[in-house]
Amino acid sequence: MPRTLEIEGLELRIFPARNDAELAAADRLADLAGERARRGLSCVLGLATGKTPIGIYRELVRRHRARDFSFGNVETFNLDEYWPIDLKARGSFHRFMHEHLFDHVDIPRGKRHVPNGSVPAAEIPKQCRDYEDAISRAGGIDLQLLGIGRNGHIGFNEPGSDAASRTRLVELTEETVNDNRADFDDPSKMPTHALTMGIATILEARELLVLAFGAQKAGIVRDSLRGPISPRLPASFLRIGAKDRKVTVFLDEAAAAGV
């Protein structure tokens, strides 16, 4: 059983081990999609990449294969993608999503959205507007999954991001580039820019499920939850309006050490 704690309307669940948190997160996603399917409704999920959600996707794939769970009513929107990037390149978030989820489950084709990091510079503003429009057309995001970068970014909203920001092109910080370099075949060719949902886009989701695991996230988790709300630490924006929507933070004991 997780320990629970409340901070300014955010519900923290602190699990003895990472795997317990991953199973509980998979439960939440499956319960929400299942409950909406029973009411004949679609379920719009905001998805993240990176190391944090891998175990959740593994569990959802397992359940789907066990015929325990269908994604037939699910539409997904990923937070971000590098730019410029060949969508099939190792390191791209398109490829990540195919490898960890899309190729193994039944989310309908055309209902899986990842910002397109292969477009030329001139098409970026339209691509970003279209992404926001597609989210609105889908009825908004029911549940957004989020990890936290070591510098406090959510999506690729790096320190300095505005609370009113929308889907746009951003420059990655040196820390983020260094953290993710190893995902690329040629680390020296890792893109230094990305397309990301904005802070305002993320905060419009009706529910946020934030996850952080391991001792290397303890400092940033503490500062985001206990420090001042500031653009210097985009994850602190999760506390804005947290009383008006459901915001749950799943941590393992190591990541929770400072809260």
What residues act catalytically? 80, 151, 153, 158
Specify the DSSP element, H or E, that contains 6.
strand 3-7
Shortest reach from residue 143's CB to ligand F6R, in Å: 15
13 or 18: CB nearest ligand F6R: 18
What does the alpha-carbon distance between residue 16 and residue 251 come to, in Å, rounded to a whole number? 9
How many of the other CB atoms lie within 10 Å of CB of 27? 14
Shortest reach from residue 76's CB to ligand F6R, in Å: 12
Please list the residues that pair with 15 across neighbouring strands.
Answer: 252
Shortest reach from residue 236's CB to ligand F6R, in Å: 14
Distances (CA, A) of 122 to 118, 119, 130, 141, 216: 12, 8, 14, 28, 38
Nearest C-alpha neighbor of 156 from the set 49, 45, 32, 33? 49
Token readout for 133 is: 């429009």
**What amino acid is encoded at 122 in this protein?**
A
Cβ pair 53, 211 in contact under 8 A: yes
Distances (CA, A) of 229 to 9, 120, 211, 225, 239: 14, 35, 19, 9, 8
147 or 198: CB nearest ligand F6R: 147
Q: Say whether 150 sits in a helix, a strand or coil.
A: coil
Shortest reach from residue 155's CB to ligand F6R, in Å: 4
Shortest reach from residue 36's CB to ligand F6R, in Å: 23
105 or 148: CB nearest ligand F6R: 148
124 or 145: CB nearest ligand F6R: 145
73 or 238: CB nearest ligand F6R: 238
Please list the residues that pair with 76 across neighbouring strands.
Answer: 45, 112
For tokens 């009383």, the residue is: 243
Cβ pair 62, 97 in contact under 8 A: no
Residue nearest to ligand F6R (CB): 147
Residues lying near ligand F6R in the complex (CB under 6 A) are found at 48-52, 79-80, 147-149, 153-156
